[in-house]
Amino acid sequence: MASLNKKVKLYLEANSKVYRDELENYKLQNDGSGDYIHTWNVSGLSKPTDSQLASYETAGNVEARNDIVRATRKSAYGNINDQLDEIYKDIDAWKARIKKIKDDNPKE
């Protein structure tokens, strides 16, 4: 199940808002009975309804799985300084290694 934060992010982006720019303009809360939007101050965009948020469930699940893939890839890629050294020494070996990481960890 996609998190409320993930669905709100998708709702904002679908309505031409930059998620990072809006982080301080809404607040999510959980009082023990589930997450909900406590405060909504996004300029020019109404607070999403439950049905609007529900429409992002599938996309939110895909995004959550892709977040895991991105984290796995980032870990497998290694330090950028080491990658640059590897590119300098043998770019073809680096390209093959990166391709294998991507092939082993496909995004949806």
How far is C-alpha 21 from the chain's CA centre? 15
> Mean pLDDT across the chain, nearest whole number?
96
Whole-number pLDDT of residue 105: 97
Query: What are the structural domains of the chain?
Result: 4-76 (3.30.56)
Per-residue pLDDT tens over the stretch 11-49: 999 999 999 999 999 999 999 989 999 999 999 999 999
Residue 29's DSSP bridge partners are 36
Whole-number pLDDT of residue 1: 86
Question: How large a percentage of the chain has pLDDT more than 90?
Answer: 97
How far is C-alpha 87 from the chain's CA centre? 28
Per-residue pLDDT tens over the stretch 46-95: 999 999 999 999 999 999 999 999 999 999 999 999 999 999 999 999 99
Rounded to the nearest 10 degrees, the angle between the axes of helix 91-104 and helix 57-77 is 150
Q: How far apart are CA 86 and CA 22, in angstroms?
A: 39
